[in-house]
Structure 1
Amino acid sequence: MASAARSRVAATPVHLSSPIKPILRKTASVLGTRSRGDNPAGADEDEPPTKRQKKTVVFNEALNMVKEISSKSLEEAKREVKQALEGHARGDDEDYDNLKDLFAPNHRKVAHEEGRGDEGKPQDLIVYVVALSGYAPMLGRSCSGLVRSVLRCSWLERDEPFSRAYTQLLADLSSVQGSALTQVLAMTVDKFTETKTTSSVPGFPPVDPETKKKWLHTGIKYLLDVFPSGSPIMLNLVSSKFPYTEESKTTHMHYLEHLLRLKKSRPELERDIMELILSRLVKLDVEMTLDLENDDDETTRAVLRQLEVEEAKNDEEDDDSDADSVASDDEDDLSEQAKRVLTIKSKLETLDAIMDLMFSIYDPLFEDPDSPDAIEAFKDLLSDFCNVILPHLKSRHTQYLLFKFAMKSNNFMEMFLGTLLNIALPESTQPPVVKQAAVAYLASFTARGAKVESHLVKTIVGTLLDYIDYQRQRKHSTCRGPNVRQYALYYAYFQGLLYIFCFRWRDLLDRESLPPSLDWDDPASFIGHQLPWMDGLKERMRSNIISKLNPLKCCSPVIVDEFARLSHHLKLMYIYPQIEMNKSINLSQFCTTTYATGGALRDTGFEFDNEKWTHLEACFPFDPFQLPLARRWLDLQRNYISWSPMAVLDRDSDSGEDDNEEDDDDSDDEECDEQVPIQEDTATDDGHESG
């Protein structure tokens, strides 16, 4: 392979002129100056200087190599390189060290400062690059120092002929040493960060960023064409060198541009690169969610103010003045908070920019949702969702890629919902935490997706009812009482039902059996009427509510409260007595047997005097999308159902005596002889809209 690689660069015989001082050391014993007798064209020494011609190095035109004019002949460079390598093998490293210095980025500057006159011309380095390619077999492990120097060369700041010759040298080095390929590819990935600005080396015109990117990826493509085994190495490298979440938006977007260029040139890496980008996007998304949850309200409000400035597209002066106002409110008390605000804002901007980029990548693929390419693209996106997004329930925005494109057709919606149902099955082999995440996605998509038709809503609700009945029948004989840790999946099913009901209760009615006086577009007109609910909804939900599993105790209080208000006013069922009774239940009493030794408590950090951990978290993935730039891709007016509580339900602050006197067919109401007024909380930011 080495000989084949070397054969790609051929030098045209040139006419030798008078001796040219070598760039390496001047001692004649190693690289000595040629005498007249050594010169086969000795008469050239008597030629007038004006007749001396510059030497030409000709590269293989088939490999897009081009001619380069230099004051150093290729034969001379080869001779110097050979003698330096042979001297290094004997233990004489003076010429070898000088050869290493040639490739140093600041070689000419160092040579000038040391008073050496052998720094040569910048254009001369190309002949040494070609010469080294010819002696690549001599660059074994003992020459690792020279290889490192070659890899530090500023090759993107010169010209195109140099970049092509240098790429050939990299290929020759990689063919000699297997480990060198990893070093070479690592160097090319490191160059991702060096293509942001225009730059050059002395003696060459400035090179703009786009040109440097072109040369870099031309070189990467050539190396991976010659060495196909380098593709997985390249994938590992771009993954390990991906910017940290704390780095700037500019750094992230610049790196992503290189990844997309790599994806375009290496189709075999396309799926892996997209999955890599999604995984890092999810990581940033989850960090943002946790940051906002863990910070105090003042910090969150300050971040929102910053976002409002961005959303209003104010100029940079407004942004700066707003940031300064945060930092200058109280230098002593708020300086750390101001830094925290700006850090979170920076992450939000990065997240927003990457989401916007991802939408722009996928959107053209779904112009025709029925095309084979669109179907294949959605399958790939769905696979990435299952592998990357689904296991991280704290993600708030990345999953909207699925939301947007699933809304493109009924086929895509059914594919997405079917995948979630299969994962959420009790018999599924997925880990419990993934099953619970699938239930949350299933409920959230069904509740929020405006294009999810009524028959699909009923199908999903019916399936969830089957799940809770199945789980209740299995667990009933051994159940001591509500225990969210032991029956988490059951409570996830039930909470999903409550959430869907709060948003889509009209879709759970038999529309054909509705009284003609009701206005479908006016939810308030349904209040107080006996409504024709889908078969089994009322009976099956009541059976589970009054069971020993007691789901109302373990589901999120915010969602339970909203369901209680709606179901009462819509005459589905009256559950306030059960909610009141649950106040006297201490959930930790059902965990004392399992954790009697106290060891598990020390491991988990849970405390019995704080029962927050005993309730299922109200986390639904398609809560409102808040990124100002990327939201332009979402047709929220047509595709998204926002939470809109009915004002008529908010007239009373509690259930009150009037509610108790209302006619209700539920047997639970008849059995309750004494009612205690219960404070009804409205939907909060933590729950509903959050819903």
Structure 2
Amino acid sequence: SLIPWHVELMSGHVTRSRSPPPPHSGYALPWPMELDHDFLNTPPMKTVRFGGSVTDTLMKFRQGDTSDYELLKHQLADPDIKDAQIINWLQELRSCLSQLTKDHEQLVHAALRLPWLGRSAAVVEEYMAFLGNLVSAQTVYLRSCLKMIVSNFTPGRIVIQEGNVNISDSDDNDEHLPRNFDLCHQALQMIARYVPSTARFLMPILCENFPFVTKSSRTLECYVHNLLRVTVYFPVLRREILELVVSKMLKLDVSAGMGGGTETKYGAVFNRTEDDDGIPRSPSGPGVEISVMEHPVAERLDVLMAVLLAYIKDMCHSVLQLERTKELYRDLVCVFDKLLLPTHACCHVQYALFYLCSFRVGLAEAFLEHLWKLLQSPSQPAILRQAAAGYIGSFLARAKFVPVMTVKACLDLLVPWLHRYIDSQDSGSFCDVTLHGPFYAACQAVFYTLVFRHRAILEGNMRKGLAYLQSLNLERIVMSQLNPLKVCLPSVANMFASITRNYQLVFCYTVIERNNRLQLPMVRSSQGGSCQPTDMNPLDSFFPFDPYLLRRSGKVIEPIYQVWEEPSDHEVKGHQKPARQVSTEEEDDFLHGETLQADDVVGMTPGSYESHLRSPSSVGSPPVTFLQRPF
């Protein structure tokens, strides 16, 4: 057989040596070659290099001669290096790995920086072999290998300048990205086979390399996609990776709402339009891309939410992965407790758990049970108990997938707890948000749930539904000396009063009118620096599942989301709202404009956000009993 010639330029001389055939791949030459075709048309593999072999270079380095050593590092860093040269260097480096101790860190790092992605299959195969042999022989380079791989989780950086402004931070050419990402994950899995403790060293590197949230949407999308992909073969890292991703997304979510009041938050940032029914619509018309958010912060968040929701679906729906779904739920709930629950007024990230719960009723009930335990636990800080109540009310109101049976089961927990709480108070108790914050938050959750779900409770059998609502004895709660209607948002109180009056359940207007006469206005600063009165919000009320405004990811949420439906004429017949009028042209949520950001409030009030941190835990918590439906 004919053996291809390997030609080297060594110290200015041409030498010929036999070389083994390239590794098996599409790149490999046929073996043996056909004389009449392959030999004439296939040139011998050539590499142009200066200096001696790697083994000789290392020997000279130990003797104090560093000239060839520096030349070797320079040649490895050549931006125009050819595939054949890369293969040659890697093969020589593999033959002397035992000599590449910590003293040769610069040389190893130069080898790790070789451009192996986007190269021929032969280069990729040789580079993979080099990585595997390196971490096996010299574990001191494990972190360096992991850093190199993770650095390729985003597109290559290409900066285009106009004047002094950088208008791009990543390569827009995505042709090779899927293959490159596949190779990176193959490399990580291969290293893990050689070093079982790889996951422990990988997580800090994933955190350190997370791009700044000001980077382009494409850069963030690729990195988060690859992070979530790591959880598939390193499930031990899933919770930490989800925590990392959610923490970065929360920064975007919260910063999107800090540019001003409600109008700025829902108008300028998310660029929403509305039809006459008040429901948010995406802009339409020739040349309009409905899936792109115009504000860059909203666009980044939208892209990342789409990635996270797609990951949740793929993890749970790929052949009914029941155990994997339950594990993902547990990890997301832990992230929820640590990051989402304590974060005031985040708008969208919590919908990841909302979406996961839509897959099975058992997941939704488990989430509600978890929130219930938080709410009624005296050992929890009052501010977290109030947040849990807000999540319960908003979830029951907005989740289409929660059946009426589950809604009633939750009311059967919340309402008796409220009655027991009232029973535990002495005759001198009065309305005080600082002392009774969780009680008021639970009251508002009940009122808010009934505003949205009373039709579902009543439809089918009006008599039985009314009997159930009457059995809740809501009048006792409304008329108690703790006076919950004084603390609830006016829009919630007014709508609850309208509906309960129509069905002759509770007559709230006397209490509301008395509260309006006695209520002192809270003020917030205007843009001009002066103070202006605003609606009271002593609880810093926050409904976490208010309308979802991101367009691309919103397409996933829309089918499972209950929008606000205006009450029918007979439900509001004769209704005179003592507080401000709520226009039917306002947004889907009838709470528009009534929830304040904490930094809008001037001064301290008994119900301010900070005051809840000093609130004592309430008493009268019932035992935990909830639906035990299996997943």
TM-score when normalising by structure 2 = 0.72
Structure with bigger strand share is 2
What letter is aligned with 1:144? Answer: E
- Residues in 2 aligned to 1:406 and 1:450: alpha-carbon distance in whole angstroms: 11
- Residues in 1 aligned to 2:135 and 2:274: alpha-carbon distance in whole angstroms: 50
1:565 corresponding residue in structure 2:
498
1:415 corresponding residue in structure 2:
366
What letter is aligned with 1:499? Answer: Y
1:523 corresponding residue in structure 2:
none
Where 1:191 maps in the other structure, the secondary structure is: coil
What letter is aligned with 1:505? Answer: H
- Residues in 1 aligned to 2:208 and 2:144: alpha-carbon distance in whole angstroms: 14
Mean Cα deviation higher: 495-504 or 174-183: 174-183
1:145 corresponding residue in structure 2:
106
1:434 aligns with 2:384: yes
Mean Cα deviation higher: 464-473 or 505-514: 505-514
What letter is aligned with 2:192? Answer: L
1:640 aligns with 2:562: yes
- Residues in 2 aligned to 1:409 and 1:352: alpha-carbon distance in whole angstroms: 21
Of residues 492, 510, 513, the one that matches 1:577 is 510
Where 1:620 maps in the other structure, the secondary structure is: coil
2:135 corresponding residue in structure 1:
174
Q: How far does residue 189 in structure 1 lie from its aligned partner after superposition?
A: 0.9
1:483 corresponding residue in structure 2:
432
Q: How far does residue 104 in structure 1 lie from its aligned partner after superposition?
A: 0.6
Instruction: Please give the residue correspondences for 1:499-648 in structure 2 after superposition, counting only pairs within 5 Å.
Output: 499-506=448-455, 514=463, 532-534=467-469, 536-538=471-473, 541-585=474-518, 615-634=538-557, 636=559, 640=562, 642-648=564-570
1:688 corresponding residue in structure 2:
590
Mean Cα deviation higher: 436-445 or 464-473: 464-473
1:40 corresponding residue in structure 2:
none
- Residues in 2 aligned to 1:685 and 1:293: alpha-carbon distance in whole angstroms: 15
1:397 corresponding residue in structure 2:
348
Instruction: Please give the residue correspondences for 1:119-518 in structure 2 after superposition, counting only pairs within 5 Å.
Output: 123-175=84-136, 177-194=138-155, 208-270=176-238, 272-274=240-242, 276-291=244-259, 293=261, 296=264, 299-300=267-268, 303-305=271-273, 311=282, 317-318=287-288, 342-347=295-300, 349-351=302-304, 353-354=306-307, 357-358=310-311, 360-362=313-315, 364-365=317-318, 378=329, 382=333, 385-392=336-343, 394-427=345-378, 429-476=379-426, 479=429, 481-506=430-455, 514=463
Q: Does structure 2 retain, via aligned residues, the 8 Å contact 1:467–1:493?
A: no
Residues 487 and 614 (structure 1), Cα distance of their counterparts in 2 relative to 1, 3 Å cut: farther
Q: How far does residue 190 in structure 1 lie from its aligned partner after superposition?
A: 0.8
Q: How far does residue 149 in structure 1 lie from its aligned partner after superposition?
A: 1.9
- Residues in 1 aligned to 2:411 and 2:155: alpha-carbon distance in whole angstroms: 55
Q: Does structure 2 retain, via aligned residues, the 8 Å contact 1:565–1:649?
A: yes
Higher RCO, 1 or 2 (CA under 8 Å, sep at least 6)? Answer: 2
Q: Does structure 1 retain, via aligned residues, the 8 Å contact 2:4–2:19?
A: no
- Residues in 1 aligned to 2:80 and 2:544: alpha-carbon distance in whole angstroms: 56
Residues 614 and 504 (structure 1), Cα distance of their counterparts in 2 relative to 1, 3 Å cut: closer
Mean Cα deviation higher: 469-478 or 571-580: 469-478
What letter is aligned with 1:21? Answer: L
- Residues in 2 aligned to 1:285 and 1:452: alpha-carbon distance in whole angstroms: 26
Q: Does structure 2 retain, via aligned residues, the 8 Å contact 1:55–1:70?
A: no
- Residues in 1 aligned to 2:367 and 2:288: alpha-carbon distance in whole angstroms: 43
Unaligned runs of 5+ in 1: 1-13, 27-32, 34-48, 109-120, 198-205, 324-339, 521-530, 590-606, 656-676
Q: Does structure 2 retain, via aligned residues, the 8 Å contact 1:173–1:180?
A: yes
Q: How far does residue 181 in structure 1 lie from its aligned partner after superposition?
A: 1.2
How many corresponding residue pairs?
552
Identity %: 22
Where 2:19 maps in the other structure, the secondary structure is: strand
Q: How far does residue 99 in structure 1 lie from its aligned partner after superposition?
A: 0.9
Q: How far does residue 405 in structure 1 lie from its aligned partner after superposition?
A: 4.7
Where 2:544 maps in the other structure, the secondary structure is: coil
- Residues in 2 aligned to 1:417 and 1:575: alpha-carbon distance in whole angstroms: 28
Q: Does structure 2 retain, via aligned residues, the 8 Å contact 1:249–1:353?
A: no
- Spell out, residue by residue over 1:461-495, the C-alpha distance to the aligned partner (whole angstroms, 9 max, x if none): 2311232233334454774x433233221111111
Residues 511 and 263 (structure 1), Cα distance of their counterparts in 2 relative to 1, 3 Å cut: closer
Instruction: Please give the residue correspondences for 1:55-134 in structure 2 after superposition, counting only pairs within 5 Å.
Output: 55-57=18-20, 70-71=45-46, 80-106=53-79, 123-134=84-95
Higher gyration radius (CA): 1
- Residues in 2 aligned to 1:136 and 1:477: alpha-carbon distance in whole angstroms: 82
Q: Does structure 2 retain, via aligned residues, the 8 Å contact 1:587–1:611?
A: no
- Residues in 2 aligned to 1:508 and 1:314: alpha-carbon distance in whole angstroms: 40
- Spell out, residue by residue over 1:138-193, the C-alpha distance to the aligned partner (whole angstroms, 9 max, x if none): 33333222233223221224322222322333344434554421122111111222
What letter is aligned with 1:425? Answer: Q
- Residues in 2 aligned to 1:488 and 1:303: alpha-carbon distance in whole angstroms: 35
Q: Does structure 2 retain, via aligned residues, the 8 Å contact 1:217–1:262?
A: yes
- Residues in 1 aligned to 2:280 and 2:16: alpha-carbon distance in whole angstroms: 65
Q: How far does residue 680 in structure 1 lie from its aligned partner after superposition?
A: 5.2
- Spell out, residue by residue over 1:603-634, the C-alpha distance to the aligned partner (whole angstroms, 9 max, x if none): xxxx9998878611332222233333334434
- Residues in 1 aligned to 2:142 and 2:446: alpha-carbon distance in whole angstroms: 55
Alignment root-mean-square deviation, CA: 4.7
Residues 405 and 350 (structure 1), Cα distance of their counterparts in 2 relative to 1, 3 Å cut: closer
Q: Does structure 1 retain, via aligned residues, the 8 Å contact 2:259–2:265?
A: no
Q: Does structure 1 retain, via aligned residues, the 8 Å contact 2:315–2:325?
A: no
Q: How far does residue 100 in structure 1 lie from its aligned partner after superposition?
A: 0.6
Q: Does structure 2 retain, via aligned residues, the 8 Å contact 1:56–1:73?
A: no
What letter is aligned with 1:228? Answer: P
Q: Does structure 1 retain, via aligned residues, the 8 Å contact 2:312–2:356?
A: no
2:617 corresponding residue in structure 1:
none
- Residues in 2 aligned to 1:494 and 1:153: alpha-carbon distance in whole angstroms: 63
- Spell out, residue by residue over 1:658-677, the C-alpha distance to the aligned partner (whole angstroms, 9 max, x if none): xxxxxxxxxxxxxxxxxxx7
Q: How far does residue 70 in structure 1 lie from its aligned partner after superposition?
A: 4.0
Q: Does structure 1 retain, via aligned residues, the 8 Å contact 2:305–2:349?
A: no
- Residues in 1 aligned to 2:259 and 2:531: alpha-carbon distance in whole angstroms: 26
What letter is aligned with 2:549? Answer: Q
- Residues in 1 aligned to 2:207 and 2:198: alpha-carbon distance in whole angstroms: 14
Q: Does structure 2 retain, via aligned residues, the 8 Å contact 1:81–1:132?
A: yes
Of residues 4, 9, 12, the one that matches 1:21 is 9
Structure with bigger helix share is 1
- Residues in 1 aligned to 2:423 and 2:542: alpha-carbon distance in whole angstroms: 27
Q: How far does residue 635 in structure 1 lie from its aligned partner after superposition?
A: 6.3
What letter is aligned with 1:575? Answer: C
- Residues in 1 aligned to 2:364 and 2:236: alpha-carbon distance in whole angstroms: 28
Residues 376 and 259 (structure 1), Cα distance of their counterparts in 2 relative to 1, 3 Å cut: closer
Where 2:61 maps in the other structure, the secondary structure is: helix
2:163 corresponding residue in structure 1:
none
- Residues in 2 aligned to 1:207 and 1:319: alpha-carbon distance in whole angstroms: 23
- Residues in 2 aligned to 1:647 and 1:359: alpha-carbon distance in whole angstroms: 41
Q: Does structure 1 retain, via aligned residues, the 8 Å contact 2:203–2:237?
A: yes
What letter is aligned with 2:472? Answer: L
Q: Does structure 2 retain, via aligned residues, the 8 Å contact 1:263–1:270?
A: yes
